[in-house]
């Protein structure tokens, strides 16, 4: 029995054997690992493994969305230290990708890393940068000019980005099909206050109609649009329905400034529409204020008749 165990041990490759694998073999092995596994473990095994992790074939995609979705939101994510960490990781991937970067799904990065994306990633097609406090119009203008192949954009909870960026993206990224521009719930901040800095919540843009005008005028090929908790009104919604006639999916959850009648009129122009998420309106009650919950009322009360 001891002999069999000894033979089995001898058959396993030693640490030195793994390090001496060819670059092609290493890349093949590492490609089977998740991005998180490569960053947390594989690249620290030895120098050859670290060099293999920098190969462009392994750095065409950086996607941490699953990790963020699977973990509990933390105040740590909103600190300068965490932002620097995300910036450093994104900058590394951009440099290692050698121009092949096609997908970026990160959160809590800043202009520091995104400017490099714009400069070095002409093949970028997907950009998701939710909850980025320090991404501005200046850098988004660089994205518009430097990443013309962009087809999917998520700038939810990015409050330093304005309608000017949307206009530029629409003008220079003709293939854009998906836009997510979601906000926090303005009526009930109780959930976000535990994590998001209050001053950042208070800085939420109040120009929903300006953004809607840019979308309706310049993003004519959109098939999916999310505007959760936007403050757009009937005017902005009408402009979107007139310009984005190819929309198939429209999410207006929490858009309390539009009524059922507004939505019905707008959707009549959208012949391709398959799914429409309408607002759900929340009104505080005595019990909700006491216990921190909200009572959900049907959206018919937003038609202008509040009589029960």
Q: What is the pLDDT of residue 192?
A: 54
For residues 97 and 60, the answer to whether their CB atoms sit within 8 Å is: yes
**Pairwise CA distance, residues 16 & 26, whole Å:** 13
Q: Please, which residues bridge with residue 126 across strands?
A: 103, 152
For the cut 70, the answer to whether the pLDDT of residue 73 exceeds it is: yes
Q: What is the pLDDT of residue 243?
A: 96
Confidence band, pLDDT 50/70/90 cuts, at residue 304: very low
Task: Supply the mean pLDDT for the chain.
Answer: 83
The model's confidence at residue 25, banded by pLDDT at 50, 70 and 90, is: confident
Residue 10 has pLDDT above 50, yes or no: no
pLDDT tens digits, 85-140: 999 999 999 999 999 999 999 999 999 999 999 999 999 999 999 999 999 999 99
Q: What pLDDT does residue 182 have? A: 96
Whether pLDDT at 3 is above 80: no
Residue 119 or 58, more confident: 119
Asked whether the predicted pLDDT for residue 193 surpasses 60, the reply is no
Query: Which of 29-33, 99-103, 261-265, 294-298 bottoms out in mean pLDDT, i.e. has the lowest?
Result: 294-298
Say if residues 256 and 281 touch (Cβ distance below 8 Å): yes
For residue 240, the tally of other CB atoms under 10 A from its CB is 27
Residue 43: per-residue pLDDT: 79
Mean pLDDT for the stretch of residues 130-152: 97
Backbone phi, psi, residue 112, to 5°: -55, -45
- The pLDDT assigned to 16 comes to 52
Using one digit for the tens of pLDDT, what is the confidence trace for 279-293? 975 544 433 433 333
Strands (E) across the chain are located at 61-63, 103-107, 126-130, 152-154, 178-180, 224-226, 249-251, 275-277, 281-283, 295-297
pLDDT of residue 28: 76
Check whether 5 has a pLDDT greater than 60. no
Query: What's the pTM value of the predicted model, to 2 decimals?
Result: 0.82
């Amino acid at each position: 029995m001891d002999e069999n165990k000894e033979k089995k041990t001898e058959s396993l490759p030693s640490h030195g054997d793994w390090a001496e694998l060819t670059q092609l073999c290493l890349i093949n092995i590492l490609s089977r690992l998740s991005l998180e596994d490569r960053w947390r473990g594989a690249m620290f095994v030895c120098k050859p493994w670290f060099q293999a992790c920098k190969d462009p074939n392994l750095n065409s995609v950086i996607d941490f969305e699953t990790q963020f979705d699977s973990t509990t939101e933390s105040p740590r994510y909103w600190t300068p230290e965490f932002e620097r960490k995300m910036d450093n990781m994104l900058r590394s991937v951009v440099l290692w990708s050698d121009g092949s970067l096609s997908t970026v799904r990160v959160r809590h990065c800043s202009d520091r890393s995104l400017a490099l994306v714009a400069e070095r990633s002409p093949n970028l097609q997907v950009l998701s940068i939710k909850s980025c406090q320090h991404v501005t119009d200046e850098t988004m203008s660089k994205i518009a000019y430097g990443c013309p192949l962009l087809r999917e954009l998520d700038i939810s909870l990015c409050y330093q980005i304005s309608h000017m960026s949307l206009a530029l993206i629409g003008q220079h990224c003709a293939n854009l099909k998906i836009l997510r521009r979601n906000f926090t719930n303005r009526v009930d901040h109780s959930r976000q206050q535990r994590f998001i800095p209050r001053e950042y919540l208070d800085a939420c843009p109040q120009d929903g109609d300006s953004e809607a005008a840019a979308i309706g005028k310049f993003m004519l090929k959109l098939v999916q649009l999310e505007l959760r908790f936007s403050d757009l009104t009937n005017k902005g919604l009408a402009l979107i329905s007139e310009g984005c006639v190819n929309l198939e999916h429209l999410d207006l959850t929490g858009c309390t400034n539009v009524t059922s009648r507004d939505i019905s009129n707008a959707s009549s122009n959208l012949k391709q529409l398959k799914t429409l998420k309408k607002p759900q309106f929340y009104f505080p009650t005595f019990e909700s204020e006491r216990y921190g919950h909200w009572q959900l009322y049907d959206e018919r009360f937003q038609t202008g008749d509040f009589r029960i």
